[in-house]
Structure 1
Amino acid sequence: MSATDSKPTTDSKRVVVIGAGVIGLTTALKIQEKGGYAVTIVAETFPSDPKSIKYTSIWAGAHHVSHAEGEPRQQKIDQETFDVMWALSAPGGDAEGCFLRIPQYDYYFDGRDTHLDWMPDFKKLSQDSLIPNAVTGASFTTLTIDTPAYLNYLLSRFLSRGGQIVRAPIQHINQIIEGGPNVFSPSWAGKTQVDALVVCPGLGARTLGGVEDKDVYPVRGQVVILRAPWVRFGRTTSHLEQGLWTYVIPRRSGDVIVGGTKLVNDWYPVARPETTRDILERNLALCPELAPPEVRAKRTPTVDDLYPIILEEGCGFRPARKGGIRLDVEWAQSPRGSKIPVVFNYGHAGAGYQASWGSASIAFELLEKALQQGHA
């Protein structure tokens, strides 16, 4: 569909999406580009804002490595997302500059037989090519995502298709259902009809009125951003029983994201220096190539050789949910006396990027089906 075709008209259904993380942006864009919809995103924080603990998506690594072990629906969601991102990342593609295609190496200490054989160039690693203590491993081609660039790409593409945004802190979904997306504006001139609401609040689903999902909880992830343009491959190992996850994720820009942690219900909002050092030590052991070439040419690098190339440290709260992603519909009473569909799309934990397009497709299908039922 062309950009012109997706522009809203007076007959367009008015949809409000709550949340401007990668899930909210992708879902809003998916709906807006279908045509026949006038979509407004309402959120407190947007991609171009200064980084903060309130906005998890900006802190993600991120690469497309699916964790859908034995979950057919999740694997389908992840595969659809990969296909979309692969097309976007193609030479001359719509968002080539937001991605880097790389060879990826995953090492497993629990002997698992990876489910990623659908990825390009997949092969199991031989025993003599494994790192110490790894039992199995695999290599494949994937892509990494420059999260600040990609989030702003999604937002600008959404706006260029006629989408609108409103910055506001929402206490309850009924505020939008009754007053419309501009109810928080000082120049608000009266109630605006809303035909549907799509709720993508991430960790905010715990406290947002009308949702208050107590199955949602944070999984804290801490990362370090290095300037290491000589690294053009990814490596990952997992020690989940220790709440650790060691990964090297290079970006097209030459920055490299190294991490990390998976700490359930850890709310500490800034980087811990001792964790930063632990992350650097683990990643240097996994990937000595992180150290500057001139250092490696003279001697064996140490963790102190990485500190001069640190650009930033930070952390984010992955919005996890007991039972996994919530993708369903409820009905809310509108001021007009009718019921409007409320579609929920949240609880992606650390899989927001690799599930974004696939879960947006399901949310959109739920929306269309609900609107058809409402007018049957």
Structure 2
Amino acid sequence: MGSVENKTKNVVVLGAGVVGLTTALKIQERRAGYQVSIVAEVLPTDAKTTRYTSQWAGAHHVLNVTEDARQQKMDLETFAIMWELSKPGTETEQYFKRITQTEYYSDKKFLPPLERFPDYKVLDQDALPAGIAHGSTFTTLTIDTPNYLRYLARRFTSAGGQIVRGSVQHISQVLEGGASIFSTQPGNENLHLMPGAPDAVVVCTGLGTRFLGGVEDKSVHPIRGQTVLVRAPWIDFGRTIGNDDGWTYVIARRSGDVILGGTRDVNDWYPRPRPEATRDILERTFAMCPELAPPEVRAQREPTIEDVLPLVIEEGCGLRPGRTGGIRLDTEWRRAGAGEDGRKIPVVFNYGHGGYGFQSSWGSANLALKLLEEAMDGKY
């Protein structure tokens, strides 16, 4: 493995969502032998758009409802890292909020392995709302997603990585030319001289993988999620109800903003908030959490949903990158350049996280790095 460590390897990561940023950061910080460039059309510093799902995420860390050992391992690894980042007194604490989370389930079949969280406690049956079969509380964290994404980008570039704005039409473009083919595009003029042909490519393009030439994974599909952002700094907890119809949740952020949700509409491509969905979200969350009304109102009278409407800051929706079969994490060897004489380089795939990109991000990045290093070390 000595020759690998003595020669800098040029790695291109496609995609700058939470999965792409975390994976690129993990590779860049792994060892001095990697020089990583991210290529993405939309970046964390851009205005919100449905073409960039990560900015719309809630997001809180609650383990997946799954018996998939790989998925649970990714979630737990991610929680451990985020728990350390959220440690009081650290510079990164500002991107997280440690909270007491209450989870209600109408059917125990929905129940994830929540006992792995700190301070886990099962609620007594007589303390549960009507129609609820199981309830528990535990300590977890929420993520201020827009600011956390910008933090990941800054940490990546501070470690020597480069972020390049570029629209990749076909993976062959990057296999042959690397990130350097986008260096003359507007916004990239101040980048340092970029390396040419890559030694490896990592695909973290989320929903865009369905349309990425040379990949075009049709098992990737949108899971549309609509949310409402309100200003309610008095909410310092999280609360969720899960049932056959989906999830109703209240996610408090450190900033004092609170995410209310949500919807889960598979194969729904509509890119704008629907007013009827906004009203439904407000009604469901208020019924579950009347504390959303301002304290001064609740001190004087019984609150109504009309007391919450003035608190609304934003309505939004994102297209979660779902994938039939779950997250794709594997390696293919692709030929760079035209003809049969072009060299073959490894392409590592890490996409299809659905609504669990943030809570699986570090764990899936660890697996992607492992695949990359096995390819670089000649184990394929």
| TM bracket, shorter-chain basis | over 0.9
Tell me the alpha carbon deviations over residues 158-189 of structure 1, each in whole angstroms, 9 at most, x when there is no partner. 01000001101111111001111021333899
2:75 counterpart letter in structure 1: D
CA deviation after TM superposition for structure 1 residue 304, in Å: 1.4
2:12 counterpart letter in structure 1: V
Look up the match of 1:206: 210
Structure 2, unmatched stretches of 5+, are: none
Look up the match of 1:43: 40
Tell me the alpha carbon deviations over residues 310-357 of structure 1, each in whole angstroms, 9 at most, x when there is no partner. 111100001000000000000011237321000000000000000000
Look up the match of 1:118: 116
1:17 maps to 2:19:
no
User: What is the root-mean-square deviation in Å for CA atoms of aligned residues?
Assistant: 1.8
Look up the match of 1:306: 308
Return the alpha-carbon distance in structure 2 between the equivalents of residues 213 and 46 of structure 1: 23
Number of aligned residues: 365
SS of match in other structure, 1:208: coil
Counterpart among 348, 361, 368 of residue 356 in structure 1: 361
SS of match in other structure, 1:121: coil
Tell me the alpha carbon deviations over residues 236-264 of structure 1, each in whole angstroms, 9 at most, x when there is no partner. 1123x33x310000000000000000001
Return the alpha-carbon distance in structure 2 between the equivalents of residues 70 and 60 of structure 1: 24
2:223 counterpart letter in structure 1: V
Change (3 A) 1:52 1:190: closer
SS of match in other structure, 1:315: strand
Change (3 A) 1:195 1:237: same
1:213 counterpart letter in structure 2: D
Tell me the alpha carbon deviations over residues 53-98 of structure 1, each in whole angstroms, 9 at most, x when there is no partner. 1000000000000114211111111000000000000012241100
CA deviation after TM superposition for structure 1 residue 190, in Å: 10
SS of match in other structure, 2:262: strand
Look up the match of 2:25: 29
CA deviation after TM superposition for structure 1 residue 191, in Å: 8.2
Return the alpha-carbon distance in structure 1 between the equivalents of residues 142 and 44 of structure 2: 18
1:52 maps to 2:54:
no
1:354 counterpart letter in structure 2: Q
CA deviation after TM superposition for structure 1 residue 230, in Å: 0.2
Look up the match of 2:97: 100
Q: Which is worse superposed, 52-61 or 332-341?
A: 332-341
Mapped contact 1:47–1:152 kept (Cα < 8 A): yes
Return the alpha-carbon distance in structure 2 between the equivalents of residues 153 and 275 of structure 1: 31
SS of match in other structure, 1:279: helix
Return the alpha-carbon distance in structure 1 between the equivalents of residues 194 and 363 of structure 2: 36
Mapping of residues 132-281 of structure 1, within 5 Å: 132-186=130-184, 192-239=196-243, 241-242=244-245, 244-281=246-283
CA deviation after TM superposition for structure 1 residue 110, in Å: 1.1
Tell me the alpha carbon deviations over residues 260-298 of structure 1, each in whole angstroms, 9 at most, x when there is no partner. 000011111111111111100000011010111111112
Return the alpha-carbon distance in structure 2 between the equivalents of residues 151 and 327 of structure 1: 22
SS of match in other structure, 1:197: strand
Structure 1, unmatched stretches of 5+, are: 1-8
Return the alpha-carbon distance in structure 1 between the equivalents of residues 161 and 85 of structure 2: 20
Look up the match of 1:4: none
TM-score, with structure 2 as normaliser:
0.93
Mapped contact 1:178–1:191 kept (Cα < 8 A): no
Return the alpha-carbon distance in structure 2 between the equivalents of residues 81 and 23 of structure 1: 11
Q: Which is worse superposed, 244-253 or 359-368?
A: 244-253
TM-score, with structure 1 as normaliser:
0.94
SS of match in other structure, 2:269: coil
Counterpart among 299, 314, 326 of residue 297 in structure 1: 299
Return the alpha-carbon distance in structure 1 between the equivalents of residues 108 and 196 of structure 2: 56
1:347 maps to 2:352:
yes
Look up the match of 1:321: 323
